[in-house]
Amino acid sequence: MTEKAAIDAQVLFYFHYDYQKIPLILQQLKKKVINGEITVILPTIAITELLWKMRRAGKTSAFKEALNRWENSENIIIDDFNLEIIQLMLKNAKSHELHDEIIAMTCKKHDTDIIYSKDKKFKEIFNLQLRSW
Protein backbone atom coordinates (compact mmCIF):
# COMPACT_ATOMS: atom_id res chain seq x y z
CA MET A 1 0.00 0.00 0.00
CA THR A 2 1.28 3.46 -0.91
CA GLU A 3 2.09 5.86 1.91
CA LYS A 4 -0.37 8.74 2.30
CA ALA A 5 0.33 12.24 3.54
CA ALA A 6 -1.63 15.46 3.72
CA ILE A 7 -0.21 18.85 2.90
CA ASP A 8 -1.21 22.27 4.12
CA ALA A 9 -1.68 25.46 2.13
CA GLN A 10 1.88 26.60 2.76
CA VAL A 11 3.19 23.62 0.76
CA LEU A 12 0.87 24.51 -2.11
CA PHE A 13 2.13 28.10 -1.95
CA TYR A 14 5.69 26.88 -2.46
CA PHE A 15 4.76 24.70 -5.42
CA HIS A 16 2.58 27.22 -7.23
CA TYR A 17 3.28 30.69 -5.92
CA ASP A 18 6.84 30.84 -4.59
CA TYR A 19 8.41 28.23 -6.87
CA GLN A 20 11.96 29.61 -6.64
CA LYS A 21 12.24 28.81 -2.93
CA ILE A 22 10.98 25.21 -2.73
CA PRO A 23 12.71 23.44 0.18
CA LEU A 24 14.51 20.16 -0.55
CA ILE A 25 12.01 18.05 1.41
CA LEU A 26 9.20 19.37 -0.81
CA GLN A 27 11.22 18.75 -3.98
CA GLN A 28 11.62 15.16 -2.80
CA LEU A 29 7.89 14.94 -2.03
CA LYS A 30 7.05 16.07 -5.56
CA LYS A 31 9.30 13.34 -7.03
CA LYS A 32 7.68 10.71 -4.79
CA VAL A 33 4.21 11.77 -5.99
CA ILE A 34 5.29 11.66 -9.64
CA ASN A 35 6.89 8.23 -9.14
CA GLY A 36 3.83 6.85 -7.34
CA GLU A 37 5.69 6.32 -4.06
CA ILE A 38 3.27 8.46 -2.06
CA THR A 39 -0.32 9.63 -2.34
CA VAL A 40 -0.86 13.24 -1.34
CA ILE A 41 -4.13 14.39 0.15
CA LEU A 42 -5.10 17.95 -0.73
CA PRO A 43 -7.80 19.26 1.62
CA THR A 44 -10.11 21.61 -0.25
CA ILE A 45 -9.58 24.25 2.42
CA ALA A 46 -5.84 24.32 1.56
CA ILE A 47 -6.68 24.56 -2.14
CA THR A 48 -9.00 27.50 -1.54
CA GLU A 49 -6.29 29.32 0.42
CA LEU A 50 -4.01 28.96 -2.60
CA LEU A 51 -6.77 30.16 -4.96
CA TRP A 52 -7.35 33.21 -2.78
CA LYS A 53 -3.66 34.13 -2.82
CA MET A 54 -3.14 33.44 -6.55
CA ARG A 55 -6.27 35.35 -7.53
CA ARG A 56 -5.01 38.39 -5.61
CA ALA A 57 -1.69 38.09 -7.49
CA GLY A 58 -3.46 37.88 -10.87
CA LYS A 59 -2.46 34.23 -11.38
CA THR A 60 -5.89 32.60 -11.68
CA SER A 61 -5.02 30.85 -14.95
CA ALA A 62 -1.97 29.22 -13.31
CA PHE A 63 -4.23 28.06 -10.49
CA LYS A 64 -6.70 26.53 -12.98
CA GLU A 65 -3.84 24.61 -14.63
CA ALA A 66 -2.65 23.29 -11.26
CA LEU A 67 -6.17 22.24 -10.27
CA ASN A 68 -6.58 20.40 -13.56
CA ARG A 69 -3.29 18.51 -12.97
CA TRP A 70 -4.38 17.54 -9.45
CA GLU A 71 -7.77 16.34 -10.66
CA ASN A 72 -6.09 14.10 -13.24
CA SER A 73 -3.29 12.74 -11.04
CA GLU A 74 -3.52 9.16 -9.82
CA ASN A 75 -1.42 10.03 -6.77
CA ILE A 76 -3.39 13.01 -5.50
CA ILE A 77 -6.64 12.88 -3.56
CA ILE A 78 -8.63 16.11 -3.41
CA ASP A 79 -10.67 15.78 -0.25
CA ASP A 80 -13.80 17.76 0.52
CA PHE A 81 -14.69 19.31 3.85
CA ASN A 82 -17.72 17.22 4.68
CA LEU A 83 -19.84 15.66 7.43
CA GLU A 84 -17.29 12.92 8.15
CA ILE A 85 -14.68 15.57 9.00
CA ILE A 86 -17.19 17.41 11.20
CA GLN A 87 -17.87 14.15 13.05
CA LEU A 88 -14.13 13.69 13.57
CA MET A 89 -13.95 17.27 14.84
CA LEU A 90 -16.63 16.44 17.43
CA LYS A 91 -14.36 13.68 18.81
CA ASN A 92 -11.40 16.06 18.91
CA ALA A 93 -10.77 17.58 22.35
CA LYS A 94 -8.82 20.70 21.39
CA SER A 95 -7.95 22.85 18.43
CA HIS A 96 -5.78 25.74 17.32
CA GLU A 97 -7.21 27.28 14.16
CA LEU A 98 -10.22 26.08 12.22
CA HIS A 99 -8.44 25.46 8.91
CA ASP A 100 -5.65 23.53 10.67
CA GLU A 101 -8.18 21.35 12.48
CA ILE A 102 -9.95 20.60 9.20
CA ILE A 103 -6.61 19.58 7.65
CA ALA A 104 -5.73 17.46 10.70
CA MET A 105 -9.11 15.71 10.63
CA THR A 106 -8.61 15.10 6.90
CA CYS A 107 -5.49 13.14 7.89
CA LYS A 108 -7.51 11.10 10.39
CA LYS A 109 -10.20 10.46 7.77
CA HIS A 110 -7.57 8.95 5.47
CA ASP A 111 -5.84 6.97 8.24
CA THR A 112 -2.58 8.86 8.00
CA ASP A 113 -0.72 10.81 10.61
CA ILE A 114 1.79 12.34 8.17
CA ILE A 115 1.54 16.03 7.32
CA TYR A 116 3.91 18.23 5.36
CA SER A 117 3.87 21.63 7.03
CA LYS A 118 5.95 24.09 9.04
CA ASP A 119 3.20 24.51 11.63
CA LYS A 120 4.30 22.76 14.84
CA LYS A 121 0.71 22.81 16.09
CA PHE A 122 -0.04 19.80 13.88
CA LYS A 123 2.33 17.78 16.06
CA GLU A 124 1.64 19.48 19.40
CA ILE A 125 -2.15 19.58 19.24
CA PHE A 126 -3.15 16.88 16.76
CA ASN A 127 -0.30 14.40 17.34
CA LEU A 128 0.60 14.17 13.65
CA GLN A 129 4.02 13.31 12.24
CA LEU A 130 5.29 16.64 11.03
CA ARG A 131 7.54 16.59 7.98
CA SER A 132 8.97 20.06 8.02
CA TRP A 133 11.83 22.10 6.67
Q: Is residue 31 part of a domain?
A: yes
For residue 17, what pLDDT is reported? 66
pLDDT score, position 69: 93
Q: Compute the average pLDDT of residues 79-96.
A: 93
Residue 21 confidence (pLDDT): 81
CATH number at residue 72: 3.40.50.1010
Report the share of the chain in percent with pLDDT over 70.
Answer: 97
Contacts of 121 (CB under 8 A, 6+ apart): 96, 97, 100
The pLDDT tens digits for 33-42 are 999 999 999 9
Asked if residue 132 is part of any domain, the answer here is no
Answer yes or no: is 54 within a domain. yes
Q: Would you state the torsion angle of the CA atoms of residues 64, 69, 70, 71, taken in this order, to the nearest 10 degrees? A: 90
3-state secondary structure of 78: strand
- Is 131 among the domain residues? no
- Domains: count for the chain: 1
Q: Is residue 133 part of a domain?
A: no
User: Which domain does 14 fall in, by range?
Assistant: 3-125
User: Is residue 26 in a domain?
Assistant: yes
Please give the model's pTM, rounded to 2 decimal places.
0.91
- Residue 18 scores a pLDDT above 80: no
